[in-house]
Amino acid sequence: MIEQSKKILVTGGASGIGAAICRRMSDRDSNFLVHTRANKAGLEKTIRDIEKNGGRGNAEFADLAVKGAARLLIQRAIDVLGGLDVLVANAGYALKTPITDISDEDFETAHVTIARSFFELATAAVPHLEKSNCGRIVGISAFGPHVWRTKVTPFAATAAAKASMEITAKALALQLAPSGITVNLIAPGFVRKDQKAHVAISPEILNKLVAEVPMGRVAEPEEIASVVAFCASSEASYITGQVIHVNGGLV
């Protein structure tokens, strides 16, 4: 259970890991602003799940690839929630295009959507998190920056963007540590997708890739969400600047 009156912003909360995070962290003392780019039906379901658990849910749409949109999202959270305790930067995607085939536009889109939006979100959130008794920034990275093997599909452009995100998080953690604000990233391995969600790799390829995972299966979104919830709690007060791998032993 989370602490009283937690004010929480979750990006990419309409499906998958983001929706699971909202379910896991919601109770009668939680107040959420849940973001999605365009998945209205998924967002409405997430809000219903939050309310089913006794929390309050508010919806917001924004394209985080647009410069300044992430900063506006933070301001919207302050307006709606009256403050901010936890920022969960989950929104993102994976692009499996080989590095030599990636267009300039696709490479730049990966970086503005993932790396720049995290920078905007986190830096805009800091003044508000400093007013919290338990300020937390939790980002969702990926295994992509860390696993480079011939039998594991690489995601060159988005992995590079996630790597940039990780360095930004470490810089923030170092600077914010004296204030008690923690900054940590979760790097999932292969995770089960919602049935209607966009997938970067086909189910057939995924079945082959599972053989490369020591635990022999993909993760459930709830397994990622539980680690996020811990990092967002007061119990994780001495953990900062970390990339926590939740990947079934994939190395």
Is a pLDDT exceeding 50 seen at residue 1? Answer: no
Which CB contacts under 8 angstroms, 24+ apart, belong to 192-197? Answer: 192/218, 192/219, 192/220, 192/221, 193/16, 194/15, 194/16, 194/19, 194/42, 196/15, 197/15, 197/16
Name the strand (E) or helix (H) holding 36: strand 30-36
Is a pLDDT exceeding 60 seen at residue 58? Answer: yes
- Residue among 141, 136, 144, 40 at smallest CA distance from 95: 144
Q: What is the pLDDT of residue 148?
A: 95
Q: What is the pLDDT of residue 196?
A: 65
6-246 — its CATH code?
3.40.50.720
- Residue among 36, 62, 86 at smallest CA distance from 194: 36
**pLDDT confidence tier of residue 4, bands split at 50, 70 and 90:** low
Q: Report yes or no: 115 and 168 within 8 Å, Cβ to Cβ.
A: yes
Q: What is the pLDDT of residue 96?
A: 93
Domain range list for the chain: 6-246
Is a pLDDT exceeding 60 seen at residue 14? Answer: yes
DSSP-derived 3-state class of residue 51: helix
